[in-house]
Amino acid sequence: LSQSHDDLSALLAAPPQPTRRACAPALEEQLYRVNPVLDHGFVRVIDYMGTDEAIVQAARVSYGAGTKQHTGDRGLIRYLMRHRHTSPFEMCAIKLHVKLPIFVARQWIRHRTASVNEVSARYSILEHEFYLPSPTHLAEQSSDNKQGRKEEAISAAQAAEVLALLERDARHTYATYEHLLNDDGSGDPADPARPQLARELARINLSLGMYTEWYWKIDLHNLLHFLSLRLHAHAQYEIRVYAEVIGQLVSAWVPLAWEAFEDYRLGGASFSKQELALLRALVERAGPEAGLGASGLGARERKEFRDKLGL
């Protein structure tokens, strides 16, 4: 991937090419640009396919004249998102170059619906870069959420001690790595008296805070699923910040789909049978039209709201 950095800089400097493909101008501006994340990480767009119009086109192939009842592209995309008609969103895809700590990569790779090419530590020597949290993100174990940390950071003095330990170990394991590789930078032994251990073995003591890199290609439907999980407050801060950057890229790429996603997924919630019964009783008590006029919902969404509550 390091080699590809130079290629991408050349692409960034190259004049734009005319194309017949539908483009998203705001994402074109982002192509190949590095968006920094954490202390050494980044996300950048390598390529993309489709726009909001591609979603609409695909839906119209399915539904034909039936889509005319929707008020334009925005209304159709919102209808598709609301009713989980997901396949039109799969017509859009994006390829990202991501640099991320290995412990973040382990969470990320659980999303199986993407294509991945990762830098090979069997083939390449990993760079001396490891993640050190900022002191404000160092906190004690949460007592009510076993998978998380407390909101309040530890004191500055405690943070300095923690960071010194994390840094000491990261430097120590990297020094061992370099010792085992015994490489003078040009492939020859730094110390001819010692072996040059295979890269696939020399790496095994490196820590989870080391950075790795990959190309990650995914369609929009699965990307939104990834974002709904990794933008959630329960997701670990260190992966959430990547999701936030990707969310900004998606909002530039497909603004109508992003708006619908924010309204119906990120800002929405699903209810159990019992919770729905409770809501129905509350709304019935207030009167079925209470608040609906000022809700901003269109006539169709108001009907859907009543139908959902069984009113």
Which residue's CB comes closest to ligand FAD? 112
Smallest gap from Cβ 145 to ligand FAD, in A, equals: 10
Whose Cβ is closer to ligand FAD: residue 83's or residue 179's? 83
Separation between Cα atoms, residue 105 and residue 248, nearest integer Å: 20
CB atoms near residue 250 (< 10 Å): 22
Smallest gap from Cβ 236 to ligand FAD, in A, equals: 7
Residues 6+ apart with CB under 8 A from 97: 1, 4, 8, 42, 43, 44, 46, 213, 214, 215, 216
The catalytically annotated residue of 230, 280, 300, 302 is 230
149 is catalytic: no
Whose Cβ is closer to ligand FAD: residue 143's or residue 274's? 143
Whose Cβ is closer to ligand FAD: residue 60's or residue 111's? 111
142: helix, coil or strand? coil
Whose Cβ is closer to ligand FAD: residue 17's or residue 147's? 147
- Strand ranges across the sheet with 41-49: 35-37, 41-49, 93-101, 211-219, 115-118
Separation between Cα atoms, residue 137 and residue 160, nearest integer Å: 12
Whose Cβ is closer to ligand FAD: residue 111's or residue 306's? 111
Residues lying near ligand FAD in the complex (CB under 6 A) are found at 110-113, 147, 222, 225, 229, 234-235
CB 87 within 8 A of CB 164: no
Smallest gap from Cβ 285 to ligand FAD, in A, equals: 36
Strands (DSSP E) along the chain, which ranges?
Answer: 35-37, 41-49, 93-101, 115-118, 139-141, 149-153, 211-219
Question: Counting runs of H as helices and runs of E as strands, what totals does the chain give?
Answer: 12, 7
Smallest gap from Cβ 230 to ligand FAD, in A, equals: 6
Smallest gap from Cβ 86 to ligand FAD, in A, equals: 10
Q: What are the structure tokens assigned to 136, written together? A: 């404000």
Separation between Cα atoms, residue 76 and residue 69, nearest integer Å: 9
Q: Which residues are catalytic?
A: 230
